[in-house]
Amino acid sequence: MPADRGQAGPPTISEVAAEAGVGRATAARTLGGYGYVSPELRERVLAAAEKLGYRANALARSMSTGVSHTLGVIVADIANPFFAGVVRGISDTSRARGFDTIVLSTYEDLDEEVAATNVLIDKRVDGVIIASAAVDRREVAHIKGATDRGIPVVLVDRAVASLDLDTVVIDNRDAARGAVETLIAAGHRRIGFVWGPPMPESPATRRGLLAEASRNLWTDGERLRGYLDALDDARIPFDPELVMVGRKTEERVTEDVARMLALPDRMTALFCTETDGVTGSLRALRAAGLSYPRDVALIGFDDSAWAAVMEPPLTMIEQPVHQLGAKAAQVLLDTLEGAGPARETHVLRSRLIVRSSVAPPPRS
């Protein structure tokens, strides 16, 4: 028999949740019959729903529905070894806890990301892990659409300012600062920055660059800030000529690094924020008849088996890719098992793998 609720009208999911002592999302999943809810919490929600007289057909549906035990993962580009490693971390952790993982790749296209999110909702995944291309608050409706349906979402690799969600990232700003500090410590003051946000042309000022960064991915902004931090600490003036912008394809990097190498006051070091930036820079050096570390010192994201067998081997930033995925899965699974979203940002440490691509600048 319905308990006295003081007021008229059918009970809401929030009231059932409060009665059961669980989060709204858990109640929504149980009563809506989608997503994973632990047997114990399911029991409590159903008891509360019965007590409050929550409408019977939803109840019946929830009782007849099985658990999907599937996590959905949306990454920007599965062909990037970084994301491949993250997905492996997610799969290993979720598999160990009895969940399968299905992956969609958006190739950095926000429309694809919206479509991918809808596919995952349609396929009734229990939770979603996403490396979102969204920046602006006008771009996050699809993610809110998932959480509104009681499907928990964890952000990985990229924080999104307008979303208050559990987020697992690395220390991009620290990583970039550390790499540039290593170059400065070796004596470099003209340090090229092979960066990547797509923008029509390089802003001529530091302020312009930061403004542009705020309209692009969080990771890109953080890496720019780390580069600037290191220059500031060493009182090295910022030179916009030493910054490469524009969509980072290897070909574009090769062209733009060639331009930087032709500047009168030539750079003596390069810091690359992506693997394509490293291989493109190496092509440009070779084309200019220069070699590393003698003529130009070099550090880049992300470490790989290849970087270690180059001659000389490259000093690279290694991101904890597997851990990044494992942690995101752990946070999501804890939420699904009743811990409730903590809305924390977890920051994992990257590591500079020092090899032989940094030497002092040539005397000239």
Beta carbon nearer to a copy of itself, 215 or 294: 294
Quick check: 304 binds a copy of itself (CB under 8 A)? Answer: yes
Strands 167-170 and 153-156, by their bridges, are: parallel
User: Tokens 């010192």 — which residue?
Assistant: 297
Quick check: 84 binds a copy of itself (CB under 8 A)? Answer: yes
Please report how many Cα atoms fall inside a 13 Å half-sphere around the Cα of residue 179, on the Cβ side: 39
Residues linked to residue 192 through DSSP beta bridges, in sequence order: 270
Beta carbon nearer to a copy of itself, 54 or 292: 292
Runs of H (alpha helix) within 77-197: 81-96, 110-122, 141-148, 172-185
Burial 332-354 (b: 16+ CB within 10 A, else e): bbbbbebeebeeeebeeebebee
Radius of gyration of the chain (CA): 25
- Smallest distance from a copy of itself to CB 245, Å: 21
Quick check: 287 binds a copy of itself (CB under 8 A)? Answer: no
Cα–Cα distance for residue pair 185/266, rounded to 1 Å:
18
Tokens of 135: 């920046």
Single out the residue of 40, 43, 100, 136 in contact with a copy of itself (rule: CB under 8 A). 100
Cα–Cα distance for residue pair 74/77, rounded to 1 Å:
9
User: Which residues inside 120-149 make contact with a copy of itself, applying CB under 8 A?
Assistant: 123-124
Single out the residue of 33, 53, 81, 338 in contact with a copy of itself (rule: CB under 8 A). 81
Single out the residue of 3, 56, 61, 107 in contact with a copy of itself (rule: CB under 8 A). 107
- Smallest distance from a copy of itself to CB 297, Å: 16
Quick check: 350 binds a copy of itself (CB under 8 A)? Answer: no
Stretch that binds a copy of itself, among 188-196, 239-247, 277-285, 342-350 (CB under 8 A): 277-285
| Contact string (CB under 8 A) for a copy of itself, positions 229-268, x = contact | ---------------------x------------------
Cα–Cα distance for residue pair 60/83, rounded to 1 Å:
40
Cα–Cα distance for residue pair 50/45, rounded to 1 Å:
9
> Could you tell me how many helices (H) and strands (E) the chain has, helices first?
14, 12
- Smallest distance from a copy of itself to CB 5, Å: 37
Stretch that binds a copy of itself, among 7-15, 86-94, 160-168, 336-344 (CB under 8 A): 86-94
User: Tokens 């008229």 — which residue?
Assistant: 8
Single out the residue of 112, 171, 255, 318 in contact with a copy of itself (rule: CB under 8 A). 112
* Residue numbers at the binding site for a copy of itself (CB under 8 A): 70, 78-81, 84-85, 87-88, 91, 95, 100-105, 107, 112, 115-116, 119, 123-124, 250, 275-276, 279, 282-283, 286, 304-311
